[in-house]
Amino acid sequence: MVDQLVVFGRHFVELLYPTALLLQIIGMTLGVLIGALPGLNATLGIALLTPITFAVPTEYALAVLISLYIGVMFGGSISAILINIPGTGSAVATLFDGYPLALQGKAADAIMVSRWTSAVGSVWGLIFFLIGAPLLSALAMNFTSPEYFWLGVMGIMVCGSFSSPDAPLKGWVSGLVGLLISFVGIEDIHATKRFTFGMTDLFTGVELISAMMGFFGIPSIISALHKVRIVAPLQLGQARLNIFRYLKDNFYHIFRWSAIGVWIGALPGVGENVAAFMAYADAKKNHPEGPQMGKGAWAGVAAPETANNSAIGGALLPMLTLGVPGSPPAAVLMGALMLHNLKPGPLLPKENPEIIAQIGAIQFVGTLLTLVVGAALVRPMVRILKVRPEILMPIIAALVVIGSFAMKSSLFDVRIMLLFGVIGYFFDKLDINAAPLVMGLILGPIIDFSLRRTLIVNQGDPMGFFSRPLSLALIALIVLSFVWPIWAKHRERKQSTAQPSS
Per-residue pLDDT reduced to its tens digit, 48-61: 888 888 778 888 99
The rounded distance, in Å, linking the Cα atoms of 140 and 322 is 7
Q: What is the pTM of this model?
A: 0.82
CA 483 centroid distance within chain: 25
The rounded distance, in Å, linking the Cα atoms of 95 and 80 is 5
Q: For residues 55 and 230, is the Cβ–Cβ distance under 8 A?
A: no
Which has more confidence, 205 or 117? Answer: 117
Which has more confidence, 452 or 499? Answer: 452
Confidence label for 407 from pLDDT (cuts 50, 70 and 90): low
CA distances from 196 to 240, 488, 501 (A): 61, 41, 59
Over range 313-321, report the average pLDDT.
89
Q: For residues 136 and 322, is the Cβ–Cβ distance under 8 A?
A: yes
The rounded distance, in Å, linking the Cα atoms of 74 and 381 is 12
The rounded distance, in Å, linking the Cα atoms of 293 and 224 is 29
Q: Comparing C-alpha atoms, which of 284, 398, 38, 328 is closest to residue 175?
A: 328
Alpha-helical segments (H) within 187-327: 208-212, 218-226, 243-249, 251-266, 272-286, 298-322
The rounded distance, in Å, linking the Cα atoms of 200 and 355 is 35
Which has more confidence, 431 or 279? Answer: 279
Query: Phi and psi for 193 in degrees, rounded to 5?
Result: -80, 130
pLDDT higher than 50, residue 62: yes
Lowest average pLDDT, out of 72-81, 173-182, 193-202, 356-365, goes to 193-202
Q: What residues contact 332, with CB distance under 8 A and at least 6 apart?
A: 43, 46, 47, 50, 208, 209, 212, 438
Over range 282-308, report the average pLDDT.
89
pLDDT at position 141 is 78
Q: How many CB atoms lie within 10 A of CB 141?
A: 12
Domain ranges of the chain: 2-497
pLDDT at position 210 is 81
pLDDT higher than 90, residue 169: no
Q: Specify the amino acid at residue 318.
A: P
pLDDT at position 324 is 84
The rounded distance, in Å, linking the Cα atoms of 480 and 90 is 26
pLDDT higher than 90, residue 199: no
Give the DSSP H/E element, type plus range, for residue 491. Answer: helix 469-501
Q: Comparing C-alpha atoms, which of 384, 387, 271, 371 is closest to residue 71?
A: 371
Residue percentage of the chain with pLDDT more than 90: 18
The rounded distance, in Å, linking the Cα atoms of 346 and 360 is 17
Which has more confidence, 140 or 309? Answer: 309
pLDDT higher than 80, residue 238: no
The rounded distance, in Å, linking the Cα atoms of 397 and 221 is 7
Confidence label for 27 from pLDDT (cuts 50, 70 and 90): very high
pLDDT higher than 80, residue 2: no
Q: Specify the amino acid at residue 451.
A: L
pLDDT at position 502 is 46
Q: How many CB atoms lie within 10 A of CB 165?
A: 17
